Structure 1
Amino acid sequence: MGRKAGGLFINPKRFGTLHKPCMKEMIMFLNCMATSHDNAEVCARQKELLNTCMESQSKKNRKSWGSINYHLQRLNRGRK
């Protein structure tokens, strides 16, 4: 269960840090919770912004293209 020598491969974990769409909203919510001593009523606005961002990023709304390595293998087959 390994890869062939000389094949194309990209480690997807290395590029996982490039796109974090709701990071700003999450940081705002956590900062609010920390300053208000875990009082959820005070941070209702930040919580709503975070929920809206997370719902917009759900996988139901996106079309799956498969992994990058799958597409690299397809390209490699076409070269031979």
Structure 2
Amino acid sequence: MGRKAGGVYIDPKKFGSLAKPCMKETIAFLNCLALNHNNDDKCARQKELLSACVDAQASKPKKPWGSINYHLQRLSKGRK
């Protein structure tokens, strides 16, 4: 099932395979916290890796064209 915007259907499951930045680092950090009873002093390495990944993502330029749902909403407003 997808969302309807005018006469176009978008299947959000189709876009589930897109890259998820820093997912491995986030999972590693959360697993470390779970194993160490939320003591982040013992998870310093995972915390540093996650911070480095997030900082690297922040410096990347964003896509100038936006998301497909944004453009579908924008186009459907013009038709009304």
Q: Give the TM-score taking structure 1 as reference length.
A: 0.60
Give 1 or 2: higher helix fraction.
2
Give unmatched runs, 5+ long, in structure 1: 75-80
Query: Which structure's relative contact order is higher, taking Cα pairs within 8 Å and 6+ residues apart?
Result: 1
AA at the equivalent of 2:16: T
Q: CA RMSD in A?
A: 3.1
Q: 1:16, CA displacement in angstroms?
A: 5.1
- Structure 2: gaps spanning 5 or more residues: 76-80
- Say which one has the larger Rg: 1
Aligned residues: 69
Deviation per residue, 1:23-74 (Å, 9 max, x gap) = 1101100111111111111101101111111122227632422222538x98
Q: TM-score, normalised by structure 2?
A: 0.60
More strand per residue: 1 or 2? 2
